[in-house]
Amino acid sequence: MSSEETEDCLFLDVMVPTRIFDSQTRNRPSSWEASQASCTGAPVLVWIDGGGFSAGYKHEQIPTGLIERSLSVDGNGMIFVAMNYRVGLFGFLPAGIAGEGVSNAGLLDQRLALEWVQKYIHLFGGDPSRVTIMGESAGGGSVFHQITAFGGKQDFPFQQAILQSPGWQPNGDPGTQKMLIEYALTNASLLTNKSLQTVEDLRGLSFKQLALVNSVIVGRSSYGIYTFGPVVDGSFVPDMPGKLVAEGRFATSLKAIMMGTNFNEGVLFNSPFLTNDQEYRHNVRAFFPNSNDEVVDYIATTMYPNDLSGKYNYTTQPLRAALTTAEGCFLCNTRYLAEALHGIVSTNIFKYLFAVPPAIHADDLGYSFYNGNGTTTWEGYPVNAEVAFTLQDYITSFVMSGSPNNGNAIHKTPWFPAYGTNASVLTLNETGLGALLVDPQANQRCDWWQKVLYV
């Protein structure tokens, strides 16, 4: 951990265009109750940072370009809010399974921030009834978990959502959660030369000691895995999110949703040195540790067969593993939501595929938060300004109107059709920008993953 990291991290950044702050706060409501009645403020985008639920900061992505782009839509723009939340051992130790606190503290941190926005954003000229939450990777997975929070039984402090590559390692097994607590206690005992038996004992350690324990556990994680993350706790996460949306136990009040995935989503999370079927199966067990032999065999023979001819869209064992991980932990999540919301907000579901090479996980971040000119790079690759501005136009228009097409007349961006019964997905690429395809995740493999038979 760096010197600036601390558990005392629960702060917000609120960035407001001068025009909104100056013009709207003159007549702002004097109280939260009054703001609920007036609902005349500016739209709000709340950003939840990613980082595998083990790292990340609210200030990693600078929204200057995104906010400037929003100003060109209606002259006023939008408010941008970014939050911190506890990660790793601090935010996702499943203490609830041991009866020594709550699990998913990091998700509860996010919820607290969203409730703060509902209560106080009017002081900055914002409208609490026009809040969009957005996140990428673990941030997108967090957005998914906020959508399914409490199984849909409570009010939701947002009205719209943007999910970019929403992901998490599925963990619904109580036994695995107990093993994780024991693993944390064992590592902490060895590193501090103390006999630690309970979660309460962990709370007695200093932040520096806990930070070391967290670093060791995360560092020892299997390739592409970070150990800590959301778990089924019977409360905030009453069941696996895919099952919850299939059962209608989520925020069905959502007015609009936009989702995006990357063409080569799973490559980063799997070893490039896998050489045979046995190693592939070992990799499956790493990502889905509660899978029995029958389930692993089904995944390896029926879902993703050991055929490297290209028939199944992979020609090597690493690419076979990449597709497995991508669909099981990231891609299919977007299909679950699209299916569940169809018929509820069928005209307000939008999905894109980011395909600018190399189009690996998180590549669309450099485009969503593009702040420069055509020479700006992201992860060593130049950012295509046309694609970046197009994506930013879609995001800002969606936040401000519930549709990515509200700024088309101004910026001449390609029409972004609703997902609909055709499962239409818009492509963001340097060539064929705006081309449409049928959702690659509208397949039987995603249907199988949603049943959560691997837990």
Question: Residue 75 is part of a domain; what is its CATH number?
Answer: 3.40.50.1820
In a domain, 286, yes or no: no
Q: Is the peptide bond before 440 cis (omega within 30 degrees of 0)?
A: no
pLDDT tens digits, the chain, 455 residues: what are they? 454 567 788 899 999 999 998 876 565 555 555 545 455 799 999 999 999 999 988 988 899 999 999 998 888 899 999 999 999 999 999 999 999 999 999 999 999 999 999 999 999 999 999 999 999 999 999 999 999 999 999 999 999 999 999 999 888 788 899 999 999 999 999 999 999 999 999 999 999 999 999 999 999 999 999 999 999 999 999 999 999 999 999 999 999 999 999 999 999 999 999 999 999 999 999 999 989 999 999 999 999 999 999 999 999 999 999 999 999 999 999 999 999 998 776 569 999 999 999 999 999 999 999 998 666 777 778 899 999 999 999 999 999 999 999 877 677 899 999 999 899 999 999 999 999 999 999 999 999 999 998 87
Please tell me the predicted confidence (pLDDT) of residue 329: 95
**Domain of residue 251, residue span:** 12-172+230-270+330-450
Half-sphere exposure of 157 (CA within 13 A, CB side): 17
Domain membership flag for residue 166: yes
Tell me if 32 is assigned to some domain. yes
User: What are the residue ranges of helices labelled H in 229-343?
Assistant: 241-246, 277-287, 293-298, 317-326, 332-341
Indicate whether 276 belongs to any domain: no
Tokens read off for 254: 């959502």
Rounded Cα distance, 361 and 54, in Å: 16
- Domain assignment of residue 266, yes or no: yes
> Is 295 within a domain?
no
State the virtual CA torsion across 91, 93, 95, 97 in degrees, nearest 10: 130
Q: Give the model's pLDDT for residue 30.
A: 57
Number of domains, the chain: 1
Determine the Cα–Cα distance for residues 220 and 449; give it in Å rounded to an integer.
27
The answer to whether residue 177 is domain-embedded is no
Give the span between the Cα atoms of 306 and 304, in whole angstroms.
7
Selected catalytic residue, list 265, 327, 339, 397: 265
- 327 is annotated as an active-site residue: no
Exactly one of 54, 137, 368, 403 is catalytic; which is it? 137
Q: Give me the count of residues in the chain.
A: 455
* DSSP 3-state of 263: coil
Distance CA 439, CA 312 (A): 16
Query: Within a domain: residue 319?
Result: no
| 265 is an active site residue | yes
Report residue 85: phi and psi, to 5°.
-150, 155
pLDDT for position 6: 74
What pLDDT score was predicted for residue 409?
65
Task: Quote the tokens at residue 430.
Answer: 């340097």
Rounded distance between C-alpha atoms, residue 335 and residue 425, angstroms: 11
